[in-house]
Amino acid sequence: MVLRSSEITIIGGGIVGLSTALGLLQAGLRVTVLNGADGDFRASQGNFGLIWLQGKGADFAPYAAWTREAVARWPEFARALQELSGVDLALQQSGGFEFFTDPDEFTAFAQSLAQQQAHLGPRFSHEMIDGDTLRRLHPEIGPEVVGASFCPLDGHVNPLRLLTALQRAFVTLGGEIRTGAQVVEIAQAQGGGFDLRLKDGTHLGAPRAVLCAGLGSSTLAAQLGFATRVSPQRGELLITEKLGPRLGFLSSTIRQVDEGGLQIGGTKANVGPDDRETLSEINALARHAVTVLPALADVRVVRAWGALRVMTPDGYPVYARSPQHPGAYLVTCHSGVTLASLHASLLADWIEDSAAAPDLEAFDDHRFALSAAA
Amino acid sequence: MTIDSRFLPRPDAGALLHMTLDGAPITARAGDTLAAAILAASGDASRHSTMGTPRTAYCMMGVCFDCLIEVDGQPNTQACMVAARDGMVLARQNGARGLRKLSSTPAQSNADG
Amino acid sequence: MVDVDLIIIGAGPAGMAAAATSAQGGARVLMLDEQPQAGGQIYRNLGAETPPPAYLGASYAAGKPLLAGLRTAGITGEFNATVWRIDSDAGMPRVLWSRGGTSHAGQAPHVLLAGGAQERPTPFEGWTLPGVMPAGAAQILMKTAQLLPRDAVLAGSGPLLYLIAAQLIDAGAPPQALVETQTPAMMTRAMRHLPRVLLALPELAKGLALIRKITAAGIPRYTSAAGFHASMRTDGRLDFSFTAKGRAHTLCTPILLTHQGVIPSTHISRAAGIAHAWNPAQQAIAPVTDRWGGSDVEGLHIAGDGAGIGGAEAARAAGELAALDILRRLGRIDKNTRDRQAKAPRRALTRAMAIRPFLDAAYAPPPEILAPDGETIVCRCEEITAAEIRQSLEGGATGPRGVKTATRAGMGPCQGRMCDLTLRGILENCGAAPALPRARTPIKPVALGELAALAPHRKTKA
């Protein structure tokens, strides 16, 4: 077997790593993805699958614009990816709700969305719907729901099939995925490029390296001189038995997966590297579900689980080139599904620094440099 | 299509419990689980999966979930874990379960045990 | 507020013995079981008012003293109770169970998991068809409903197959044939364990008597059988094809009863966070315990087949041992008393386990059952085939999680009970180093309304 040397190595085989890798591959590079172990924390295998705009970047216009662009690019991205992989992503972008039972939270969120509307202008639209109006549209909504926001641009996808599709498409186009390759150390190699030491003791050379290792990024990022430290934020989810009838809507906390089960989620807890499901959140999620949709009371939960979000200190993505180590990049974000359409397209231009490269200065890692130094 | 039970007829045990399965009468003996009563009555599938394949009670101990049927309107009930009672209305399921109507399912419906 | 000292989950031989021993030692015990009465699967329905049919034999009736032991003061039994989670709250084990549509939480300083075993999944093409059933399931129907399979074919391997065949002969419903996957090579491998088996001569003699009965009844036995395949005729009967000693056979039967031994039910112990390990001799996942059944999670013991397959006698002894250790930890007996009282059950356990290595080797499940290929369904719930699982491994999955998320195998309501081990077998067969699959709660499905109605604050109830 002839080993073809890759021009760029992606550290991390989740949705962020693979979509970035796919974009670079399609830009003509020889790309290798290093995928860690089966038991690693993997947001890509535990997430909610939203392609979501409402509320994103209300306080940070560049993120609002970047997410808006991602959402716009999803239909074409999904079409191409499905064709390459033969995997149905079950993409739906027909709008989504956020439900509220607390009037104050409803009002506060209205202000957030107004701000997002101001950032995005005609590229965004949303509605705030009071409870009674909502129940006229969807009589199945429970009486305790005081209102909902609705954004027609929101949607969702089957996240597990997105992961599979990215793997298949990448391999189909000639990309190489090395499994069980846990990078524990990265250093500048003599004579250029990087030396990656794997957990099993072997070394790999990489002319250039993109760090997309999710929660595994922090240590490696420090070795490359990046200031960003990501931290885990646990979200807990429930999945129910399959239902024949379709829910008439999508929401940020209750969605029907295309196989028929309902996913219920949206909890947040900063508890370190602990992805266990808890009784209190199982209870809270179930209460939320039957409050929003009382008819779900007799629907059985098949499984609960926790998964860890990959959070930067301010919650916004980081796209950064290492100043000390040219050829090293850090790509990390919480919304790997939503942003996949950009990671597989514009991000390659940015990494390649081509004429089409987007301006991602606002997402640079130097915004954390001060706090890291302190 | 009706397939004979895959089990031998049982000796007369006196009093029987009377239920219906898809509208047709079906009997059980005291102590039968619903799965036992159905298996005693018929060798047919007791449900069809979401992919349309025929299934019937399998493990008889609550492990495999192949015996799911609708019992008195409650779908996806494990027939091997529920004792037969007089007057029960049983229905075979085809594909994924349905959702009860909003009006018939107040949020507290499961709280009274 | 805690009003019991010990919660026992499972009222089979281990749970019943532990309940009696611990209650006799002064502990207050809450016993939970999914079935309407105590007995477990082995003694299921033995407590019924009507006497059991004679054909179930002496080994079934042998459970009566265990049932009688539950009358000891201090034991509260709660039946039709499905445990769906074990965790801890304020440093004390907490058990969540569902009963009659309502969930309850109970706490005690000690919890004994005595959930027993399930039959090993036996995948082959056609095993999901109506008419194919585990032999143990048919035996449950014999015990609980006096239902006798009509003209059955018994296929697979293991002592239970012979016991059920003998029971069917005695019941006047002899099976049409026995199709055994056991090969002479397995028996040869098992022979090295023979010296230990001498400790278990009565057990061995019972087994040989069963085989003699089957032979005397003129039941055809096909051995070295492989290549199982079932399909259904229009009249509902099954055509069961296989090869035996290299020759192809097809038998037509209304009911095909399969068996490849039993495996520990570990969803409850895995979801509780207890360390588990692979037992290569038993080809099964089992919790790691000390010699008293103690686990690495504070307050949790495991006894019986759920800790590793040993059978009813071993389970009874292990239940007593765990109870003695719990009594010591409760301060009700001292270490010396525990050790002294442990002597008899320890001897019984050794005796009961003596035959195990021989049985494990002689009746080992064949490779094609452990790691099937082609169109054989592996995950019954999601209907995922062996070929799809193998494809996911070629696509980059390296362990149970990767396979699960790529194929949905194990995501259905049984939560992997029917496919965890097969998935592992295929991973191993494909050269992957299979990790232990994770189990999440609720370990049995629970309605949203029921979960929502759980009191948000801590509640002790027993």
Mean pLDDT over all residues of chain A? 95
Residues of chain A contacting residue B110, judged by C-beta atoms under 8 Å apart: 297-298
Contact call for residues C395 and C255 (beta carbons, < 8 A): no
Nearest CB among B50, B74, B100 relative to A295 is that of B100
Please indicate whether, in this complex, the C-beta atoms of C396 and A171 are within 8 angstroms of each other.
yes
Which positions 8-37 of C are in contact with B (Cβ < 8 Å)? 34, 36
Residues of chain B contacting residue A241, judged by C-beta atoms under 8 Å apart: 76, 96-97
Distance from the Cα of A66 to chain C's closest Cα (Å) equals: 29
Chain C: residue whose CA lies nearest to B63: C414
Chain B: residue whose CA lies nearest to C153: B6
Residues of chain A with CATH 3.30.9.10: 91-155+232-311
Beta carbons within 10 angstroms of residue C147's beta carbon: 24
Chains in touch with B (3+ beta-carbon pairs under 8 Å) read: A, C
Please indicate whether, in this complex, the C-beta atoms of B50 and A260 are within 8 angstroms of each other.
yes
Q: Would you call C185 helix, strand, or coil by DSSP?
A: helix
Chains in touch with C (3+ beta-carbon pairs under 8 Å) read: A, B
Instruction: For chain B, say whether A291 makes contact (Cβ under 8 Å).
Output: yes
- CA dist C216 and C408 (Å) reads 48
Q: What's the topology of domain C126-260?
A: FAD/NAD(P)-binding domain (3.50.50)
Distance from the Cα of B41 to chain A's closest Cα (Å) equals: 28
Instruction: For chain A, say whether C445 makes contact (Cβ under 8 Å).
Output: yes
pLDDT of residue C8: 98
Query: Chain C interface, mutation test: which of A44, A163, A301, A337, most C Cβ atoms within 10 Å?
Result: A301
Residues of chain C with CATH 3.50.50.60: 6-118+263-333, 126-260
Q: Note down pLDDT in tens along chain B; length 113 residues.
A: 589 999 999 988 778 999 999 999 999 999 999 999 999 999 999 999 999 999 999 999 999 999 999 999 999 999 999 999 999 999 999 999 998 764 333 333 333 33
Tell me which amino acid residue A50 is.
L
From C452, C118, C94, C410, select the one nearest C284 (Cα to Cα).
Answer: C118
Please indicate whether, in this complex, the C-beta atoms of C440 and A277 are within 8 angstroms of each other.
yes
- Residues with Cβ within 8 Å of C58's Cβ and at least 6 positions away in sequence, in order, are none
Nearest CB among C94, C440, C456 relative to A303 is that of C440
Distance from the Cα of C364 to chain B's closest Cα (Å) equals: 21
Contact call for residues A294 and A321 (beta carbons, < 8 A): no
Nearest CB among A45, A240, A279 relative to C448 is that of A240
Nearest CB among A45, A168, A302 relative to C405 is that of A45
Q: What does residue C152 show for φ and ψ, rounded to 5 degrees?
A: -75, 155
How many B×C Cβ pairs under 8 Å?
Answer: 135
Q: What number does CATH give the domain A8-50+160-230+316-373? A: 3.50.50.60
From C48, C47, C12, select the one nearest C33 (Cα to Cα).
Answer: C12
Please indicate whether, in this complex, the C-beta atoms of B54 and C129 are within 8 angstroms of each other.
yes
Distance from the Cα of C426 to chain A's closest Cα (Å) equals: 16
Residues of chain A contacting residue C406, judged by C-beta atoms under 8 Å apart: 160, 163-164
pLDDT of residue B62: 97
From C352, C6, C39, C402, select the one nearest C206 (Cα to Cα).
Answer: C352
- Residues with Cβ within 8 Å of C268's Cβ and at least 6 positions away in sequence, in order, are C9, C83, C86, C113, C115, C306, C439, C443
CA dihedral C445, C451, C457, C459 (to 10 degrees): -50
Tell me which amino acid residue B8 is.
L
Residues of chain A contacting residue C413, judged by C-beta atoms under 8 Å apart: 241, 300, 302
Structure tokens, C284: 């099964």
Which CATH number is correct for B17-96, 3.40.190.80, 3.40.50.1000, 3.10.20.440, 3.10.180.10?
3.10.20.440
**pLDDT averaged over consecutive 10-residue blocks of chain C (462 residues)?**
87 98 98 97 93 92 96 97 97 97 97 98 98 98 97 96 97 98 91 80 87 97 97 97 96 98 98 97 97 98 98 97 98 98 97 93 96 98 98 90 95 97 96 90 98 70 40
Residues of chain A contacting residue C440, judged by C-beta atoms under 8 Å apart: 277, 303-305
What is the SS3 assignment for chain A? CCCCCCCEEEECCCHHHHHHHHHHHHCCCCEEEECCCCCCCCHHHCCCCEECCCCCCCCCHHHHHHHHHHHHHHHHHHHHHHHHHCCCCCCECCCEEEEECCHHHHHHHHHHHHHHHHHHHHHCCCEEEEHHHHHHHCCCCCCCCCEEEEECCCEECCHHHHHHHHHHHHHHCCCEEECCCCEEEEEECCCCCEEEEECCCCEEEECCEEECCHHHHHHHHHHCCCCCCCEEEEEEEEEECCECCCCCCCECCEEECCCCCEEECCCCECCCCCCCCCHHHHHHHHHHHHHHCHHHCCCEEEEEEEEEEEECCCCCCEEEECCCCCCEEEEECCCCCCCHHHHCCHHHHHHHCCCCCCCCHHHCHHHHHHHHHC
Instruction: For chain A, say whether B50 makes contact (Cβ under 8 Å).
Output: yes
Tell me which amino acid residue A226 is.
F
Please indicate whether, in this complex, the C-beta atoms of A39 and C399 are within 8 angstroms of each other.
yes
Nearest CB among B45, B49, B76 relative to C383 is that of B49
Count of all residues that appear for chain B in the document: 113
Instruction: For chain A, say whether B23 makes contact (Cβ under 8 Å).
Output: no
Chain C: residue whose CA lies nearest to B60: C137
Please indicate whether, in this complex, the C-beta atoms of B109 and A140 are within 8 angstroms of each other.
no
Instruction: For chain A, say whether B101 makes contact (Cβ under 8 Å).
Output: yes
SS3 content of chain C, % helix, strand, coil (to 5): 35, 25, 40
Please indicate whether, in this complex, the C-beta atoms of C405 and A160 are within 8 angstroms of each other.
yes
Nearest CB among A260, A294, A300 relative to B106 is that of A294
From A259, A222, A266, select the one nearest A243 (Cα to Cα).
Answer: A259
Residue range C6-118+263-333 forms a domain whose CATH class is alpha beta
- CA dist A281 and A265 (Å) reads 9
- CA dist A186 and A328 (Å) reads 10
Q: What does residue C80 show for φ and ψ, rounded to 5 degrees?
A: 55, 30
pLDDT of residue C2: 55
Contact call for residues C261 and C361 (beta carbons, < 8 A): no
Residues of chain C contacting residue A303, judged by C-beta atoms under 8 Å apart: 411, 415, 440-442
pLDDT of residue A369: 86
In CATH, which superfamily holds the domain spanning A91-155+232-311? D-Amino Acid Oxidase, subunit A, domain 2 (3.30.9.10)
pLDDT of residue B13: 78
Tell me which amino acid residue A1 is.
M
Nearest CB among B4, B83, B109 relative to C236 is that of B4
Instruction: For chain A, say whether C431 makes contact (Cβ under 8 Å).
Output: no
The alpha-carbon radius of gyration of chain B (Å, integer) is 15
Residues of chain A with CATH 3.50.50.60: 8-50+160-230+316-373
Question: How far is the CA of C203 from the CAs of A260, C199, C312, C325, C356, in angstroms?
Answer: 50, 9, 12, 28, 10
Query: Chain B interface, mutation test: which of C43, C99, C133, most B Cβ atoms within 10 Å?
Result: C133
Chains in touch with A (3+ beta-carbon pairs under 8 Å) read: B, C
Contact call for residues A299 and C447 (beta carbons, < 8 A): yes
Query: Chain B interface, mutation test: which of C233, C380, C411, most B Cβ atoms within 10 Å?
Result: C380
Q: Which residues pair with A233 in a beta bridge?
A: A309
- CA dist C122 and C135 (Å) reads 11
pLDDT of residue A218: 86
Question: pLDDT digits over C199-257, tens only?
Answer: 778 888 888 999 999 999 999 999 999 999 999 999 999 999 999 998 999 999 999 99
| ipTM of the shown complex | 0.95
Pairing of strands A318-321, A203-206: unpaired
Query: Chain C interface, mutation test: which of B1, B5, B7, B104, most C Cβ atoms within 10 Å?
Result: B7
Please indicate whether, in this complex, the C-beta atoms of C137 and B61 are within 8 angstroms of each other.
yes
- CA dist C230 and C223 (Å) reads 18
Nearest CB among B76, B101, B109 relative to A297 is that of B109
Please indicate whether, in this complex, the C-beta atoms of A290 and B107 are within 8 angstroms of each other.
yes
Please indicate whether, in this complex, the C-beta atoms of C147 and B1 are within 8 angstroms of each other.
no
Instruction: For chain C, say whether B53 makes contact (Cβ under 8 Å).
Output: yes
Beta carbons within 10 angstroms of residue A305's beta carbon: 18
Instruction: For chain B, say whether C137 makes contact (Cβ under 8 Å).
Output: yes
With pLDDT > 90 as the criterion, what percentage of chain A qualifies?
95
- Residues with Cβ within 8 Å of A328's Cβ and at least 6 positions away in sequence, in order, are A186, A194, A208, A209, A210, A211, A224, A321, A322
Instruction: For chain C, say whether B27 makes contact (Cβ under 8 Å).
Output: no
Contact call for residues C390 and C426 (beta carbons, < 8 A): yes
Question: pLDDT digits over A24-60, tens only?
Answer: 999 999 999 999 999 899 999 999 999 999 999 999 9
